[in-house]
Structure 1
Amino acid sequence: MTAQGSHRVLRTSSAPAPASKLPRWLRAEPVRRWIRVTVITVCLLVMGVDLVSTVLAEVWGISPDSAQLAEDLELEPAELEPVIGPYADMIINWTPPLLTILVVLQPSVGALVTLLYMALFLALSTQVDNSLVDVFGPFAGGVFVAPVVARYSRRGFAVGIGVAYLVLLAAGIAVSPWDPGGLDMVILTGFAAATTVPALVIRRARLRARAQQAELEEAARRERQAAEEERQRIAAELHDVVAHGLTIISMQAAMLQTTEDADRRRDSEQAIEQAARQSLVDLRRMLTALRGTDRNADNVGADGVQDLCARIEGFADRLEDAGFTVERDLKDLEDLPPSMEFTVLRLIQEATTNILKHAVPGGEVVLHSALHEDHLDLEVSSPLSDAGDRRAEAGGEQARRSRRSVPSGFGLPGMHERVAVFGGRLSVGPDLDAERGLRWVVSAELPTR
Structure 2
Amino acid sequence: MSKNADLHARRLAATPRGVGVLGDFFAERAENSLLWDAEGRRFIDFAAGIAVLNTGHRHPKVTAAVKAQLDAFSHTCYQVVPYEGYVRLAEKLNEIVPIDGPKKTAFFTTGAEAVENAVKVARAATGRSGIIAFSGAFHGRTLMGMALTGKVNPYKINFGPMPADVFHAPFPVHGVSVADSLKYVQHLFKADVDPKRVAAIIIEPVQGEGGFYVVPAELMAGLRKICDEHGILLIADEIQTGFARTGKTFAMEHHAVKADLVTMAKSLAGGFPLSALTGRAELMDAAAPGGLGGTYAGSPLAVAAALAVLEVIEEEQLNARAERLGAALKERLNSLKSAVPQIADVRGLGFMVAVEFNKPGSHEPDADFAKKVQTEAMKRGLILLTCGVYSNVIRFLAPLTIEDAVFAEALDILDAALKA
TM-score (norm 1): 0.16
| Rg comparison, structure with higher value | 1
Q: Which has the higher strand share?
A: 2
TM-score (norm 2): 0.17
Larger RCO, structures 1/2 (Cα 8 Å, 6+ apart) = 2
